Structure 1
Amino acid sequence: MHRVAPAIILSVRPHGEHGAIVRALTREDGVQPGYVRGGRSRALRPVLQPGNGIIGEWRARTVEQLAALTIEPGHSRAGLHGEPLAAAGIEWLCALTAAALPEEQPYPVLYDALDAVLTAIESAPSARGWAGALVRYELLLLGAVGVRARSGAVHRHRRDDRSRLCQSQERRGGVGGGGVRVRGAAVSPAALSA
């Protein structure tokens, strides 16, 4: 297997004394793992940051083997990791994408959307400029993996679940006055609505 493609780094794990296992999202081939020799060195550490764009070259003898990955720096967003809010947004986007997407399945729309949100984080002066884009990306990602969400459904279900929980506790002879027992402690309905 031989593949060369631009990619966005999603996660980096140390491996051995000097290497790193990198998972990167490519436009045509989806999430691709690879072993980077010297990935923990001073020269490569700034390049191997979640959210950075790279040109990756994956080489493996067989498809089942973890590919050796050589990288060339592309678009660096390493400077944003010094800003707490931007760093948290980048880390969240990359970790969520790495956890949700299976390997080797193309998601060109998600690649473009992730790149756009990362660019918005990079260019916006505050979180107001990119928070909405981050939420829309989360919904797009969840839709791509098969989870469907309706607008306002989360809050409505949360209230309904609380009232059902209180009613079921009352029927079973739980805490009087509409409260519930949580790990042996009584919790009032006012605490549940917070």
Structure 2
Amino acid sequence: MHLRAEAILLAVRSHGEHGAVVRGFTRDDGVQPGYVRGGHSRRLRPVLQPANTVLGEWRARTGEQLAALTVELVHSRAALHAEALPAAALDWVTALTAAALPEGQAYARLHDGLGGLLGAIEAAPSAKGWAGSLVRYELLLLAELGFGLDLDRCVVSGVADDLGFVSPRSGGAVSRAAAAGYEAKLLSLPAFVRDGGAAEWPAIIDGLALSGHFLARDILVDRRADTLAARERLVERLKRAVA
């Protein structure tokens, strides 16, 4: 097994005294784990940061063996780890992607979406510039794994207009007329989720509640549920930032 590709680093875990097991997300070959010798050295610590982009080379004698991995830094996002909100966002999206995706399966749209989100976090002067992109990425991940929401028509009446809610059970959109009297039992559907464009903070918070419900129900279950703690920290920081 020999693979050479650019990858977004998702997770870095100590292994032995000096090494590290690293999971990188490549566009064409999906999530690829590898062992980096000297991963905790002074030279490699700044490189092996989640959300950095590296050029990786994986080598193994068989497909079942953990590959030896060498890395070369392509793009560093290490400076963002010094800022509270961007750091919390990077921790969450890399942990989510690492926990949710199976190894060795290509998810090109998701890879591109993650790259776009990381770029937005770098470029935005405030969280409002990238928080909407975070919601869209979470919903894209749900869709890519087979848990996409049905937001085209109302699941009750079949109309395609005035959709303002989502059923927490079916994941289908519900029109405001059909939701009358049941609003408290439904999830809000912010316009930017369905139609795109910019979003104000109340809509972003509603979007996070929407995607978070289905991530917790359908993706981050059993052992992976611990990953949600990173999301809870991020959402609380976002809410404090706009309070």
Contact 2:18 2:41 in 1 (8 A): yes
Instruction: State the distance in 2 between where 1:114 and 1:121 align.
Output: 11
Q: Which residue of 1 aligns with 2:117?
A: 117
Matched position secondary structure for 2:50: coil
Ranges in structure 2 where 5+ consecutive residues have no aligned partner: 152-164, 169-178, 187-243
Q: Which residue of 1 aligns with 2:102?
A: 102
Instruction: State the distance in 2 between where 1:158 and 1:72 align.
Output: 52
Matched position secondary structure for 2:75: coil
Q: Which residue of 1 aligns with 2:139?
A: 139
Instruction: State the distance in 2 between where 1:37 and 1:8 align.
Output: 19
Larger Rg: 1
Aligned-pair CA distance for 1:153: 1.7
Q: Which residue of 1 aligns with 2:52?
A: 52
Q: Which residue of 1 aligns with 2:148?
A: 148
Which of 157, 181, 185 in structure 2 is aligned with 1:160? 185
Q: Paired residues, what number?
A: 161
User: 1:6–1:50: structure 2 CA closer, same or farther, 3 Å change rule?
Assistant: same
Q: Which residue of 2 aligns with 1:90?
A: 90
Matched position secondary structure for 1:74: strand
User: 1:158–1:52: structure 2 CA closer, same or farther, 3 Å change rule?
Assistant: farther
| Paired residue type of 1:20 | A
Instruction: State the distance in 1 between where 2:183 and 2:7 align.
Output: 38
The TM-score normalised by the length of structure 2 is 0.63
Instruction: State the distance in 2 between where 1:42 and 1:129 align.
Output: 34
Which contiguous aligned blocks of 4+ residues in structure 1 show a shift greater than 3 angstroms? 154-161
Q: Which residue of 1 aligns with 2:14?
A: 14
Matched position secondary structure for 1:111: helix
The TM-score normalised by the length of structure 1 is 0.79
Instruction: State the distance in 2 between where 1:125 and 1:61 align.
Output: 46
Q: Which residue of 2 aligns with 1:174?
A: none
Instruction: State the distance in 1 between where 2:124 and 2:74 align.
Output: 21
| Paired residue type of 1:50 | P
Aligned-pair CA distance for 1:42: 1.3
Q: Which residue of 1 aligns with 2:3?
A: 3
Percent of aligned positions that are identical:
63
RMSD of Structure 2 on Structure 1 (CA): 1.7
Ranges in structure 1 where 5+ consecutive residues have no aligned partner: 162-194
Q: Which residue of 1 aligns with 2:39?
A: 39
